[in-house]
Structure 1
Amino acid sequence: MPKRRRQTAALPYRLSSDGAFEVLLVTSRDTGRWVLPKGWPMPGKKLSKAAEIEAYEEAGVIGTTAKKSIGTYDYDKVESRKRRIPCRVHIFPLPVDSLLDKWPERGQRTREWFAPKDAATSVDEKDLRLLLGRIETVLRN
């Protein structure tokens, strides 16, 4: 099996007015699937900071990621019909301070708030589904 390349993702979240957790997902540019804002490591930046930058670029999120990852998930990034890159994504929680009306990838993606269980059923990756299904417990501890 080929070595998995590392990626980093933000898990933007907030508490609703009634105290319930909500998770922000974005659509991928190529397939329109619901995903976390994610990307490749950035030279000179910690994975947590790179995840924060991806959340800003892909979803217009303003906030500060936690320094420690809360988990990982694996997927194959499809580059072309014949090329797939096995990836392991490190997830960093990101409490959302605010959302911008304009952000770099605004015209390329849609963003939406989900209840954690709805977010879990909206993503394709099994390990990410499992994490989202128990995210309230993970973040409260």
Structure 2
Amino acid sequence: MASGAKRTARSEMRQVAALPWRVEEGERRILMITSRQTGRWVIPKGGRMAGKTDAQAAVQEALEEAGVKGAVEDAPIGVFRYAKTLKDGGQRKCVVSVYPLQVLIQLGAWPEDHQRQRRWMTPQAAAAAVNEPDLAALILEFAATLPTDEQPA
């Protein structure tokens, strides 16, 4: 590329996300949060973090954005893509690796509690609430593979 020439295409920004889940009264639930800017239902996500594995970064995002702690899987269950709206009005394509997080602690106050709502939803309601078809499919596929208490040991 010539000096001073503008790049016309950027590579996808890599992000990580937690998929917070629990079993409630024998039924599986997914914790959804609202985005700060648009109020859309999303899962906790953000950029990769220096000094942390991607799974650890997903745990950090879940704590900051949703106020939950728990046990995270080391491997992602898949990825989804979306277009992040930038402050200048432009968009950046993002690819997000999703890490299941079994919620063990739900805090009453957390860093972004005044900026977001959170709600436990059935997997079907969570999938219907998101705008990204790939994320909806991941939620439904993950919920279908969760172990149930009724399975023999």
TM-score when scaled to structure 2?
A: 0.87
- For 1:120, the aligned partner's letter is A
Q: Which residue of 1 aligns with 2:150?
A: none
Q: Which runs of 5+ in 1 are unaligned?
A: none
The corresponding residue for 1:35 is 42
- The residue correspondences of 1:30-69 to structure 2 (distance < 5 A) are 30-69=37-76
Other-structure match for 1:15:
23
Whether 1:98 and 2:105 are equivalent positions in the alignment is yes
My pick for the range that moved more, 59-68 or 115-124, is 59-68
Contact preservation (8 Å) 2:77, 2:142: no
Give deviations 1:98-130, integer Å, cap 9, x for gaps: 100010000000000000000000000010011
Distance 1:62 1:113 in 2: 15
Partners in 2 of 1:54 and 1:110 — Cα distance? 15
Runs of 4+ in structure 1 over 6 Å off? none
How far the C-alpha of 1:81 sits from its partner, in A, is: 5.2
Identity %: 42
For residues 145 and 17 of structure 2, the distance between their equivalents in structure 1, rounded to whole angstroms, comes to 16
TM-score, structure 1 normalization: 0.94
Letter in 2 for 1:2: R
Larger Rg: 2
The one-character-per-residue Cα deviations of 1:25-73 (angstroms, maximum 9, x if unpaired) are 0000000000000000010100000000000000110112110000100
What is the aligned length?
140
Whole-Å Cα distance in 2 between the matches of residues 138 and 96 of structure 1? 17
SS in 2 for 1:56: helix
Partner residue in 2 for 1:74? 81
In 2: Cα distance, 1:114 partner to 1:81 partner: 33
CA RMSD after TM alignment: 1.4
Say which SS state the counterpart of residue 134 (structure 1) adopts. helix
* Amino acid in structure 2 at the alignment position of 1:53: Q
More displaced 10-residue stretch of structure 1: 4-13 or 126-135: 126-135
